[in-house]
Chains A and B, each alone.
Chain A
Amino acid sequence: MDFDFSDDQRLLKDSVDRLIADRYDFEQRKKYANEPDGWSRDMWARYAELGLLGLPFPEAAGGFGGGPVETMTVMEAFGRGLVLEPYFATVTLGGGLLRHAGSERQQAALLPQVAAGELKLAFAHVERQSRYDLQDVGVTATRDGAGWLLNGEKSVVLHGDSADKLLVTARTGGSRRDPGGIGVFLVDATAGGVSRRGYPTQDGLRGAEVSFANARAEDVLGDPGGALPAVQRVADEAIAALCAEAVGGMAAMHALTVDYMKTRKQFGRAIGEFQVLQHRAVDNFVALEQARSMAMYATMMAASDDAAERRQAVSAAKVQIGRSGRHIGQEAVQLHGGIAMTMEYKVGHYFKRMTMIEMLFGDTDQHLAVVAGGGGLF
């Protein structure tokens, strides 16, 4: 057993932490958010230079061969910085689908472009009726000569507005909630028949509603009727990454709250001198450390080839993250008082991001049901 980083991992951590500390303070973030895409192209180029955009890709495809620990390191720092760029959408989701469902040819064609910062991806899987169910797919893909035509609508596609290419789950057979008959299709975001309505999400990131009307797919990743296991695997890795991001955010929120309690004076003393508030801060600390532990657990299990075991672990972590995130978020706001209710102060932004993370790839109840339906964690 070993919870320590390797030397390479430590180097990575230092450089990402430094980048976020230097280039992603609250004022800088505000500037990035006001750029045309809602994020910074400049920072995107920096991530590419540092190798972050190719981190989890095989070396043969222009990547660094990093695993879940490397992803965790980056995501935790990004959580602290409340990073706006489409890293999760492009590298974790899009890159993940290419790694797990794509052929060598497809990987060789696309991953180097992603790693170089030249290609942005988004994963279109949510539908209006599907909520968090990955196999609830109504969008259809039908054969047209050698290719495929897509029809239907996808919802809340993370960073779907600025993506160059979309990876879309679509049904080639079976009925709406069948596990079989689902493929992942690669679609140029500007192709005929694709229309997108982009918008900010509640946490200041971006999403889009995307509709397909006889839109021609460029390609299909793997088996056009058997992609679900790969999709689930990517979702599990994505959840592990979100857990790490959430821990970064929770830790920052907790630290801000403790600092504030030490400096905010009411009734002639720092409010942190009230023991009842100290205990609340301690409970936040406990929630944070429990979350951190489970994020590590998810990270260490995310690469497991045993799908059932992996799913249990990741779901358990998502439950813990959801609960700790909600608790720490609400308490950070309450312990700050009015100031935390404002856009001008950072804590509220963490609170909002935590709320959105709780809803991504399944909410707490859904994952609790997964764990409850398994044979027990021990």
Chain B
Amino acid sequence: MDLKFTPEEHAFREEVRHFFRTAVPESIRRKVLEGQHLTRQEIVASQRILNEKGWAVPNWPVEWGGQTWTPVQVYLYQDEMQQAGVPAPLGFNTSMVGPVIAEFGSQAQKQRFLARAANLDDWWCQGFSEPGAGSDLASLRTKAERVGDTWVINGQKTWTTLAQHADWIFVLCRTNPTAKKQEGISFILCDMKTPGIKVRPIETIDGGHEVNEVFFDDVVVPYENLVGQENKGWDCAKFLLGNERTGIARVGTSKARLKRIRELAKLERVGDRPLIEDQKFREKLAAVEIELKALEMTQLRIVADERGRQKGKPNPASSILKLKGSVIQQATTELMLEVAGPYAMPYVASDEGDGRNEPGYGPDYAAGAAPTYFNWRKISIYGGSNEIQRNIVAKAILGF
């Protein structure tokens, strides 16, 4: 047992660190580290910088722009990216629809969509959840009927993240109403400009516009927009949901936030002493750091172990990454709120969209403390809630 990385791995870490911190604008990285919403342009610009370097989609097959990195390199890449505050490449493109098309799509679909997805020429969004189908995704009701060589789609999706920016949506539709729940679903791609698609914004509790409802009213798309086989969409969905593993813990993000909290707690004063010298506060900070160190070690164990494993047989410990990673991320937001103190109270309208940038009140970072705390409650809800994660671990790992 040895915690040291090889000299090659060290060199790789230096290379990605240097790139992330020099090539991606500081203004964007600062916003990410402080939990602020990015504009569409910022997200696109950042992904294109990565893509030009060939680093937007390292997890894809090499022929479509992927890298032959070892699991350790993938880990280092993510860790450095998160610590630098570089926005992750748009997940809907790079870890959802891209890998699904690469695995299940036709040659024509690959040629048409993959390079554009990697470069964020097309912005994708995820049309899975519905008002009646959240945790129980397979009960979805949006239906697609085959009419000639087209699909006619009717129904409603919800919680669709950043649909307001999207060019395309990948939709799970019911295509066989009489089959068993999971067996009558298809994975279909829709151009967001298709007549009959309507997007309605949902305002989240932090005041942001991040999610939407998407309505389908007799939306006609070509039959060839089906990915994989008809009624086999659930396989695509399962593949997609199981695809993110190590990245989901966001250990690097939490590391960066804890460092920032420590820095800020040196500046904020309680009475005549810096907050960081308050025994209770430092113990709370230390406790979260310990949890994070444990999670990082767990992640490294998984990474090291991945070399010797067959594809599709993940280490059982990987299932705790989302559970623990979400709770740690949320804990950092609570600490940040405590650092900000009374100055977390003013609500400062974000400059997203309209270009208005009201001067804040109190220290700059404080304005984001409460909205991030509120907003990050989502992390234990989406992508399979923490309750659903526990159900999976109980069944798949503990054998209940």
Residues of A within 8 A of B377 (CB): 330, 333-334, 340-341, 351
Size of the B side of the interface (Cβ < 8 Å), in residues, is 49
For window 193-223 of A, CB contacts with B under 8 Å fall at: 197, 199-202, 207, 209
Summarize B's interface: helix, strand, loop or mixed: mixed
Residues of A within 8 A of B136 (CB): 266-268
CB contact under 8 A between A355 and B202, given known A131-B342, A133-B271, A202-B347: no
A-contact bits for B321-350, CB 8 A (1 contact / 0 none): 000000000000010011001111111100
A-contact bits for B357-376, CB 8 A (1 contact / 0 none): 00001100000001101110
Q: How far is the CA of A128 from the CA of B268 in the complex (A)?
A: 10
> Closest Cβ of chain A: how far from B157's Cβ, in Å?
12
Could you say which interface size class chain A belongs to? 35 or more
Q: How far is the CA of A348 from the CA of B211 in the complex (A)?
A: 15
Q: How far is the CA of A207 from the CA of B280 in the complex (A)?
A: 29
User: Are A365 and B135 interface neighbours, CB within 8 A?
Assistant: no
Interface flag for B272 (CB, 8 Å)? yes
CB contact under 8 A between A155 and B347, given known A342-B205, A355-B373: no
CB contact under 8 A between A131 and B270, given known A202-B344, A333-B377: yes
> Closest Cβ of chain B: how far from A152's Cβ, in Å?
15
Residues of B within 8 A of A45 (CB): none
Residues of A within 8 A of B346 (CB): 156, 199-202, 207, 209
B-contact bits for A128-139, CB 8 A (1 contact / 0 none): 110111001000
CB contact under 8 A between A128 and B381, given known A334-B386, A342-B203, A365-B281: no
Interface flag for A363 (CB, 8 Å)? yes
For window 269-299 of B, CB contacts with A under 8 Å fall at: 269-272, 278, 280-281
> Closest Cβ of chain A: how far from B214's Cβ, in Å?
14
User: Are B347 and A359 interface neighbours, CB within 8 A?
Assistant: no
Interface flag for B380 (CB, 8 Å)? yes
For window 351-378 of A, CB contacts with B under 8 Å fall at: 351-352, 355-356, 359, 363, 365, 368-369
> B205 contacts which of A128, A267, A348 (Cβ < 8 Å)?
A348
> B280 contacts which of A199, A265, A349, A368 (Cβ < 8 Å)?
A368
Q: How far is the CA of A133 from the CA of B338 in the complex (A)?
A: 15
Residues of B within 8 A of A268 (CB): 136, 139
Residues of B within 8 A of A49 (CB): none
A sample of 12 more A-B contacts (CB under 8 A), given A129-B269, A155-B342, A343-B204, is A202-B345, A334-B386, A338-B134, A338-B158, A338-B381, A341-B204, A341-B375, A341-B378, A342-B204, A343-B207, A351-B374, A355-B374
Q: List 29 A-B contacts (CB under 8 A).
A: A131-B268, A131-B270, A132-B341, A132-B342, A156-B361, A177-B271, A199-B361, A200-B347, A201-B345, A201-B347, A207-B346, A209-B361, A265-B132, A267-B139, A274-B387, A330-B377, A334-B385, A337-B134, A337-B381, A337-B385, A340-B205, A341-B377, A343-B204, A343-B207, A349-B205, A352-B205, A363-B341, A365-B280, A369-B280
Q: Which residues of B contact A (CB under 8 A)?
A: 129, 132, 134-136, 139, 158-159, 202-205, 207, 211, 268-272, 278, 280-281, 334, 337-338, 341-348, 361-362, 370-371, 373-375, 377-378, 380-382, 385-387, 390
